[in-house]
Structure 1
Amino acid sequence: MAAPTPAIIKLCRLLLLLVLVWGLFEQPKTCEAGKSFACNPKDAATKDLPFCRATLPVQDRVRDLLGRLTLQEKVKLLVNTALPVPRLGIKGYEWWSEALHGVSNVGPGTKFGGDFPGATSFPQVITTAASFNASLWEAIGRVVSDEARAMYNGGVAGLTYWSPNVNVLRDPRWGRAQETPGEDPTVVGRYAASYVRGLQGNDGNRLKVAACCKHFTAYDLDNWNGVDRFHFNARVSKQDMEDTFDVPFRMCVKEGKVASVMCSYNQVNGVPTCADPNLLKKTIRGAWRLDGYIVSDCDSVGVFYNRQHYTSTPEEAAADAIKAGLDLDCGPFLAVHSEEAVNKGLLKEVDVNNALVNTVTVQMRLGMFDGDRGSYARLGPKDVCSPPHQDLALEAAVQGIVLLKNHGPSLPLSTHRHRTLAVIGPNSDVTLTMIGNYAGVACGYTSPLQGLGSFASTIHRWGCADVACANNTLFGAAIDASREADATVLVMGLDQSIEAEFRDRAGLLLPGGQQDLISKVAAASKGPTLLVLMSGGPVDVSFANNDPRIGGIVWAGYPGQAGGAAIARVLFGITNPGGKLPMTWYQEEYLKNLAMTSMDMRSNPSKGYPGRTYRFYKGPVVYPFGHGLSYTKFILSIAAGTAPTVVGIPLDGRHRASQINTTATVDSDTVKAIRVTHAKCSRVSVSFDVDVRNVGNRDGSHTLLVLSTPPPQDWAPHKQLVAFEKVYVPARAQRRVRIKIHVCKSLSVVDRFGIRRIPMGQHNLHIGDLMHSVSLKPATSLGLGVIKS
C-alpha cells in the first residue's frame, strides 16, 4: 500500500480534530436522572474496582483510576466537557456551572425545565455585599448549594460551580462591578470565604458542591477604549499585587478552603495568567496550599495562543499551561493538543496525571464516585424555590439597600399621607434587570411597581422608553403624573445594556436624558420626590444629592427576584435601611486623568493620577465608601475601662530589631516596621468592646466599620478597613460588640517591594466618630519593651 501523501495526512488530522471537537460539545452535559456518574452499584464490572471503594483513602482511589486510563482517555478529561470512559463505567461530565447569586443556566452544566423550572435568584453580589453581613453571605451559599444538589440529583445540573467573582472593584467603569463584593480587599476576601463555606458545606473533607474563586488575577477590564481583556497586559507592581489584588484570593483559598481557582484572560506583567507558574504553581498551590483544581477562564489557553501569540505552536501553549499548574481547560484546547504535546516531548504524561489528580480528587470529594450513596441524596424539587429560600432572597435585598440621602426627612413614606404614588422611570416595572448578570431563571418576580402597589395606589409612567433615555417624548406624561400624586418615586439607573461583561462604561453619569427627567419631575411634583437607583457600579448623582426638591435617594443595586418588594418595604418604613456602600461613588471629574489600563492603586500627584478606592484616593466624592443612612440614630461609645492599647510584637527569635527595619535606619528608641514573616503572628491580636445605642424610635441594624490609619509611611494606605460587624439594636436599646483585630493580618501594610510589614507606632482605629488608638512596639522575651541595636 502506497504511503499517504502529506495532503491526505493533513486531511485525516483535520477530520480527527473535527470528530474530537464534535464529541466534546455533543456529550451529555450531566448525568441522567437517577443514574450514577460512576461506580454504579449495579455494574458488576466496576463496582468492586479500588477506585469505586468509598472506604479507601481518596488518594488511593485516584491513583488506581489514573493507572487504568490511557493517554487518549486522559487528555479528554482535561476540558470542561469531559468525555465518558464507558469501559470503566464513567459518564461524561460538564464542569461548567455558575452560581454567582443563585443557580444559573449561564454555563452549559445546568438546565431549567420540568421539575426544575427555576431557582431562587438572590440580589446581585454588589447589593448583597452592601449588607456587610458575613452570616447572610454564608446563609445564601447554603441555600444555593441546596438547590444545586437538588438539581444534580434530578439530572439537570453539575456539582462544580465557577463562582464567586472575587476581583477587587478597582475602576468604577468596570462592566462587571455588579458581580463583585466591592472595592475593599478585606471585604471581598471575607465575602469569598463566607460564600464558599456556605456552598461547600462543613462535612470535613467532603464537598456539598465545589466552588471556584475567579478571576486570578488583576482582572478588571473587559472592553474599554479599544482595549479588551483578551489582549490586555496588566502591569502591576509587587506592592499592589500583595496588598490589593491577591488578598481576596488568598483569603478564599486559606480561609474559605475553596475547591478551585480560575485564572483570567489577561496577562500580568507580560505573562498570561494561565501560563504563569509563579501565579499558579508557586502561589496558589504552593504558598496558599490550594486543595483542589485550577481552571482556565473559558478558552483562555486558546486566547494566549491565538490572540496574544504567546507561543509559536498550540502544543507549546498546551504544555506551558499544564506545566504552569493549570488542571482544567474551559474549552477544547487541551483535549485537542495535549497528546501531541506529549508526543513531541514538550509535556510528560506525568504532567497530565498531576492535573487529573487535582480534578478527580475534587470529584471524589463530591461523592461522584460513590455510586448512589450520598448524604445529600434526599434533596429534590421541593428544595428549590421553597418559601424559606424566597424569604431569604427578600431579606438579602432589604439588607443590601442603601439610603443615600434623606432630606427633611422625606422617608419613610406613610400609608396614611401618601395614598397615591407616581411611579416613574425605565426601571420602574422591570424584572430581568433586577437580577443582573450570571443569573438563572428566577422563581418569580416582584417589580418595583408591584411592590409599591401593595402599599398605595399607583400612577405608572415610563418617562423614558429605556435606560438609554434617548429622547424626552415621554417626559410630559411623567411630569403630569407627579403633579397628581401624593408622592413620586423615580426608579432610574442602569442595566445590562450599559454595564455588563465585555461592556465597560464610558462615564459615571446617568445615561441620556435621565438627569433631565429627574430634575423636571422633582420641580413639578406635588409631594416628596424620591429617587431609587438600580446599578452595579457607582453613579454620579451630585445634581440629585444637591437638589432640595429631591427628598430621598436610595440605591438598590440589582436587588434580585424580590427587589420590588424590598424597595417598597424600605420606602414605607416596614424595614429600616441598614446597607452601606461597598464602593466609593466618584464624581465624573474623577475620570479625567484615569485610564482604565493604569493599574496603580496609589496616587501620583506629579502626573495628576488620583489613586484608586478610598484607601488611596483623597479627593471629592459623591458618597464615600461605607456611606449609608438609617431611619433611627445610633450612638457609639468605647466600652468603659477601655484604654489605649499598647501591644508588643514578639519576634521569631532569629531576628534582631536592627535587621528588620524598612529603611536600614534605626532610631535609638524605635523600629519603623517589622516583617510579618519575622513576627510570631498567631500570638498577637487586639480586642475591645464598642457599645451601640439606638436612641431613636425604630428598630434597626448598624454596621460597625473599623478603619485603621497606620503610622505615617509614604507607601501605606491613607486608611484601610480592618474589621466590620453587623449588629441589630431595638429602639431605645443598647448592644455591646466585641471587636477583635489580628495585628499581623489587619494592621500590616505592604512596602514598595511587596513585603508585608507591621508599622511600629500608633495606629488610630476609627469607628464612626470614635477613635481608639493601638500602639505597636517590638517585644522582648522578657516582656514588653523596645529592642535596641
Structure 2
Amino acid sequence: MRRCLLPAVLLTASVMIQSAGAQNSCSKNLAPKAIDGHIDTIIRQMTIDERIEQLQDRAPAIPRLGIHAYNWWNEGLHGLARDGYATVFPQAIGLAATWDAELLHSVGDTVATEARAKFSQHARYDSPRYGGLTLWSPNINIFRDPRWGRGQETYGEDPFLTATLGTNFVQGVQGNDAFYLKANATPKHFVAHSGPEQGRDSFNAKVSPHDLADTYLPAFHEVTTQGKAAALMCSYNAISGTPSCANSSLLQARVRDLWHFNGYVVSDCDAVGNITEYQHYTADAAHGTAAALNAGVDLDCGSSYLALKQAYAQKLVTEETINRSLHRLLLARFRLGMMDPLGCSPYDSISKSDLDTTKSRALALRAAEESVVLLHNDGTLPIKSSEQRIAVVGPTANMLKVLEANYHGTASQGMTPLEGLRESFKTVQYAQGSLLAPGVTAPIPDTAFHIGVEQHSLAGLVAEYFPTTSISGEPLVTSIVDNVDLDLDRVGPDPKIVTPHYSARWHGYFFPPAAGDYTIRVNMERCWDCTAHDHFRLFLDGKLQIKNNSEKFDTDRVKLHFADTAPHEIKLELEHIGEDEGIALEWEPPADALLNEAVAAARDADSIIAFVGLSPDLEGEALQVHLDGFAGGDRTSLDLPAAQMTLLKRLAELRKPLVVVLTSGSAVSLDPGKIGASALLEAWYPGEEAGHAIANILTGRANPSGRLPVTFYRGVADLPAFDDYSMSRRTYRYFSGPVLYPFGYGLSYTLFTYGVPHLGGSTLAAGKPLDVTVRISNTGKVAGTEVVELYLAPPQFPGAPHLALAGIQRVDLGVGKSREITFTVDPAHLSFVDAQGHRSIRPGLYRLFIGGAQPDLAVNTGVAFTIAGTKSMDF
C-alpha cells in the first residue's frame, strides 16, 4: 500500500536515517513519479555549487539535507578489487575462455555480494574509495588486437560472445529485485577503445560506420537494452575526431534516444580533463566540462567538473542540464537503498559473513578449471600417477601477480600452481628457471632462502608480524614463509593483524645459486594517491642496503656481486604507516644460474611441467615498461620472451615429457612442435584457485573444456598497424590467413561427435527466429563438457564477415551418452552490417555450422538455408 508523501524537508531527513522496520518509508513503495518529485525537491534545496560538487566521484556530504558523502569509484572486474580480502576469480579473459554465461552470472552475483559485505563494514554510507556499490565493470571493449595490454580485461574478440557474457555478468551484479539493485554495473569503455596505451589520453580512433555498428557497438547495446546496466563509462579516446566523453551523437542520440538507456554515464578517470588538456577539443576547462555535461556525462571521475562553476557562470551549461545529471545520480543512490532505512532493500542483510566464503572459493575453482584451454596434447596428459617425479620450472609457477592479474582483490587462501602440484604429487622438484624477461625482477624463490646457515635447514624465511608500526618486543605472529611476495591492499600480512598500521620483519639466509652479479629489489606497490607511504629497510650481512624513510626515495634496488654460493644473512623490515598495497623481495640473478638450476631439477624427473608466459608487470594499463617486445603496457611482439624460450629449449634437450602451461592475458605465439612440447595449455591469469585448478586439469581430475576467446596469430607480421581501428584483417570474422590456433579452439581428454543439424525449414522469412537441433555424443573414454558453437556464414556482400558466432551451449556428457540440443537464433543475430553501417537481415543463401570449434570453410560446407525478404535492424 503506497503511503502519502511527507513534506519535502521532513522526508529528506527521514529517508536518510536508519530506522529498522520502517517499511512504509521504503522507496520501493512509492510510484516512480513520486520518487522523481522527491529527488527534484532535494535538488532545489541545494546551491548550484553543491549540485556541481555532487557530480564528482568523491561526492561530499550535505549534512543539512541528510546527504552523506559517497565515493562512486569501485572495481569488480573479476572479483571485488582493492579493498582487502575478497574472492579472486580468473581474469576476465579467462572467464571468457569458459564460454559459460551462467558462470558469469554467478561471478557477477558474488562480486555484488562481496561489495555489499564491504559496504556494511564501511558504516554503509560514508564509504571510502573501493568501498561502495557502484562497480566500474565489466570491460566489454572488443579485443581487436592481441598487442593491447588491457585486452586481458575483456571477454575477447567477438561481439556475440562479449555481449552474451557481459549481459549475464551485469545481471548477476545487479540482482533480481524489481526496484533495488544489489550493486550497479558499469560497462566500459564506451566506445572503440582498445589501445594503444601510450598516448591514450589524446588518441583518435578513426572508425568507419561499418566497424562501429558491426564490431564496437553491439555488446554495449546488449548490456544496456537486455542487461539493463545501471551505468555506462565513456572512454579516454576520441572517435573520428570527437572525444568519447563529449560525443553527443553517441551518448545522447544513440544511447539515450535510440537505445532508451536511462542510467547515468561516468567518465573514465580524468577523461573530461583530457578533452581540453590532451585532445585540445576545447579552448579551456570551462568549455571542456560543458561539452561533457551537455553530451550526457553525469559523473566525472576526477575533479574536472569543478570547472562547471565557471561554465555555468558563462552560460555554457544550464541549471536544467546540471539538475538532469544530478537527478540520475540521486536516483541511482535510491535504487541502491542508500537513501532508505535499513531493511528496505533485500540486500541489506548481507554482512561480513558473506565475504570470501567456501561457496565463493568453490566458484573460483570451477571458473579456473573451465577457463583452461588445452591447445596440444600427444597423450601425455592427463598424468594419472601421483608417484611420478615431477619437475616444476618456470618464472610463473609460483608468482602471486600471475594469479591475481590487474583490478584484483586479495585472496585469503590463494594457491599458486607450484603449491597445487606439491599437493598432488609426492615428489616435486622446483626451479624458477628464468625471469619473465631481462630487466624484469621476480620474487626470490624459496630455493634461495633457508632459515638457518646450513643448506639442509628449512627452506624459506622467518616472518614476524607486530601489531604496531614499531618493530619491538615480541611479535604477535611468527611463521615460516616461502618468500616475500605479498598483496597487502587494506589487509595485514596475517589475518591476526587487524590494525591498519603494523610492522613486519622477514629474516633468514640468502643462498646465491651461483657466483656473479645480482640485483636485489624491494618492490612496493605504492598507493598512487596516498598522503603517507610505507617504510622499509633491507639488510644483508647486517649492513643496510636500501631504505625508504621518506615520501620519495631514489631507488628500490641494489646491485651486488657474490664471489661464491656462501650464505648471507638477510633481513627485510616493513613499517606499514600508509596505504601501500603490497611488498615483494625480488631479484635479477645471472641467467645461467637459473637455467642450470632448472636443468638439474628436471634431469631426474619423469615429467617436466614448465610455467611460462607474461604477467601484469609486462602487459597492462599505462605501464612504464619499455623492453624488447613490450612498450608502455602493450606488446610489440606476440612471441614468448627470449629468456623463457631459451629455458624451454634447454628443457626439451632432456628428451622427457614436457608439459607447457602458458599464463598470460593475451595470445602468445608458441608452437609446441618448435619447442618439443608434449602438451600445451593456456591458463590465462587463473585467480586464487589456480593451484587446485591446474593440478586437477593436469591429473585428469577435471577435463579441460575452455575455448579460445581470441585468435592466436602466428606473429605481428600478419596484423595491420596496431593503431589502425579498421577491422579488416582482424579477428576470425575478417582475418583470412593461417593462424596458430583459431578463435573457439580447445581440446578435451574425450571425444565428441555430432549428428547432422536439423533446421525448422530450408527457407526463413526475414525477422523470424531460426530453430536448429543437433545430437551430440561422447564417444571417448571419460566424461567431459563440450562447448557447442554455432556459426553463420552470410552471403558475402561488402562488409560481411567470413563467419559469425551466433550460439553457445555447454553440454555435460558421460561416457557413451548422447543429448539432443536445440538452438533458437534470435533474428538480431541473423542481421549483418553493410559498408555504410546499416544493419539488416538480408535475403540470400546462408550456411550454418555447429561443432566444438570454429569450422574450416575450406572443407566444411555446413547446412544451407535461405532467408527471404529484408528487415532493418539498425540500433
TM value normalised by structure 2: 0.75
Task: Using the TM superposition, give the Cα deviation of residue 83 of structure 1 relative to its aligned residue in structure 2, in angstroms.
Answer: 0.7
- Matched with 1:669 is none
Q: 1:642 to 1:218 in 2, by over 3 A?
A: closer
Tell me whether 1:600 sits opposite 2:726 in the alignment: yes
CA distance in 1, matches of 2:818, 2:31: 54
Structure 2 match to 1:508: 638
8 Å contact 2:19–2:342 — kept in the other structure? no
In the other structure, the counterpart of 2:411 is: 442
Whole-angstrom distance in 2 between the partners of 1:752 and 1:342 = 42
For residues 418-446 of structure 1, the C-alpha deviation after alignment (integer angstroms, 9 at most, x for no partner) is 52100000001122221100001112211
Distance in 2 between the 1:252 and 1:401 partners?
26
After TM superposition, give the deviation of residue 467 of structure 1 in Å: 4.7
Matched, 1:722 2:819: no
Moved more, 504-513 or 625-634: 504-513
Give 2:825's aligned residue: 741
Residues 88, 642 of structure 1: alpha-carbon distance in 2 compared, 3 angstrom cutoff: closer
Could you say which structure has the higher strand fraction?
2
The answer as to whether partners of 1:38 and 1:91 remain within 8 angstroms in 2 is no
| 1:517 pairs with 2:491 | no
Q: Is contact 2:19-2:341 (8 Å) kept?
A: no
Map of 1:480 onto structure 2: 600
After the TM superposition, which parts of structure 1 deviate over 6 Å for at least 4 consecutive aligned residues? 47-53
Aligned to 2:626: none
Q: Which residue of 2 aligns with 1:709?
A: 793
**Alignment partner of 1:645 is 2:762:** yes
Q: 1:557 aligns with which of 684, 695, 706?
A: 684
Q: Deviations over 1:34-60 (max 9, x none)?
A: xx99610569xxx99999796353322
5 Å-filtered alignment, 1:373-384, equals 373=343, 374-384=345-355
SS at match of 1:622: coil
8 Å contact kept, 2:252–2:295: yes
Pair 1:62-2:39 in alignment: yes
1:776 aligns with 2:867: yes
State whether structure 2 residue 358 is matched by structure 1 residue 387.
yes
Alignment of 1:365-444 (within 5 A): 365-373=335-343, 374-407=345-378, 409-415=379-385, 419-444=388-413
1:175 corresponds to 2:144? no
Q: Distance in 2 between matches of 1:717 and 1:37?
A: 57
Aligned 8 A contact 1:644 1:773 in 2: no
Shift, 1:644, TM fit: 5.4
3-state SS of paired residue (2:188)? strand
Q: Bigger shift: 469-478 or 143-152?
A: 469-478
**3-state SS of the aligned residue for 1:489?**
strand
Deviation string for 1:287-346 (max 9, x for gaps)? 111121000000111111112221112111111111111100001111x21122111111
Distance in 2 between residues matched to 1:691 and 1:523, nearest whole Å? 45
Once the two structures are TM-superposed, the CA of residue 772 in structure 1 deviates from its matched residue by 2.3
Structure 1 residue 382 displacement after superposition: 1.0
Letter in 1 for 2:411: A
Match of 1:234 among 196, 205, 213: 205
Seen in structure 2, the aligned counterparts of structure 1 residues 589 and 180 have a Cα distance that, compared at 3 Å, is closer
Contact 2:764 2:866 in 1 (8 A): yes
Q: Which moved more, 1:236-245 or 1:443-452?
A: 443-452
2:755 counterpart SS class: strand
Alpha-carbon distance, 1:414 to partner: 1.7
Name the counterpart of 2:753.
635
SS state at 2:747 partner? coil
Contact 1:469 1:513 in 2 (8 A): no
Partner of 1:783: none
Rounded to whole Å, the distance in 2 between the matches of 1:310 and 1:477 is 57
2:703 matched residue in structure 1: 576
Offset of 1:67 from its aligned partner? Answer: 2.0
Q: How many Å separate the matches in 2 of 1:642 and 1:189?
A: 25
8 Å Cα contact 1:492-1:531 kept in structure 2: yes
Alignment partners' CA distance in 2, 1:741 and 1:49? 45
2:601 partner letter: A
TM alignment of 1:209-608, pairs within 5 A: 209-223=183-197, 227-334=198-305, 336-373=306-343, 374-407=345-378, 409-415=379-385, 419-456=388-425, 457-468=427-438, 471-502=591-622, 503-525=633-655, 527-542=656-671, 544-547=672-675, 549-591=676-718, 594-602=720-728
* Amino acid of the structure 2 residue aligned with 1:438: Y
Residue 23 of structure 1 corresponds to none
Shift of 1:185: 0.6
- 1:51 and 1:145 map into 2 onto residues whose CA distance is 21
Q: Which has the higher helix share?
A: 1
SS at match of 1:190: helix
Residues 348 and 51 of structure 1, relative CA distance in 2, 3 Å threshold? farther
Deviation at residue 523 of structure 1 after TM alignment: 1.9
Identity across the alignment (%): 35
Q: C-alpha separation between the residues in 2 aligned to 1:691 and 1:215?
A: 40
SS in 1 for 2:847: strand
Aligned counterparts of 1:723 and 1:159: Cα–Cα separation in 2: 32
Determine the structure 1 residue equivalent to 2:563: none
Distance 1:414 1:733, change over 3 A: same
Quick one: distance in 2 between partners of 1:143 and 1:242? 32
For the residue of structure 2 that corresponds to 1:473, the secondary structure is helix
Instruction: Output one character per residue of 1:425-478: Cα deviation in whole Å (capped at 9) or x when no partner.
Output: 000112222110000111221111111111112100110134548834311221
CA contact (8 A) 1:424 1:489 kept: yes
Q: Which residue of 1 aligns with 2:469?
A: none
- Deviation of residue 262 (structure 1)? 0.4
Deviates more, 1:78-87 or 1:769-778: 769-778
Between 206-215 and 67-76, report the one with greater CA deviation: 67-76
Q: Distance in 1 between matches of 2:100 and 2:736?
A: 27
Q: Structure 1 residues 732, 469: CA separation in 2 closer, same or farther (over 3 Å shift)?
A: farther
Instruction: Output aligned runs, 1:11-50, within 5 Å.
Output: 39-41=16-18
Offset from partner CA, 1:383-441 (integer Å, 9 cap, x none): 0111011000000000010000001x11101225x521000000011222211000011
Q: Tell me, yes or no, if the aligned pair for 1:436 and 1:495 is still in contact at 8 Å.
A: yes
Stretches of structure 1 that go unaligned for 5 or more consecutive residues are 1-35, 106-110, 113-117, 603-610, 650-680, 781-789
CA distance in 1, matches of 2:710, 2:183: 30
In the alignment, what sits opposite 1:693?
777
1:567 match: secondary structure: helix
Runs of 5+ unmatched residues, structure 2:
1-12, 441-590, 623-632
Q: Secondary structure at the match of 1:127?
A: helix
Aligned partners of 1:499, 1:126: CA distance in 2, in Å? 13
Counterpart of 2:736 in structure 1: which amino acid? Answer: K
3-state SS in 2 of match to 1:586: coil
Deviation at 1:693, TM superposition (A): 0.2
Match of 2:117 in 1: 150
Paired position in structure 2 for 1:665: none
Residues 189-234 of structure 1, C-alpha deviations (whole Å, 9 max, x = no match): 11110000000001113211011000001101143xxx51111100
Shift of 1:174: 0.3
Shift in Å, 1:517: 1.0
Cα distance in 1 between the residues matched to 2:183 and 2:217: 24
Deviations 1:110-147 (A, max 9, x none): x33xxxxx000000010011111100000111111111
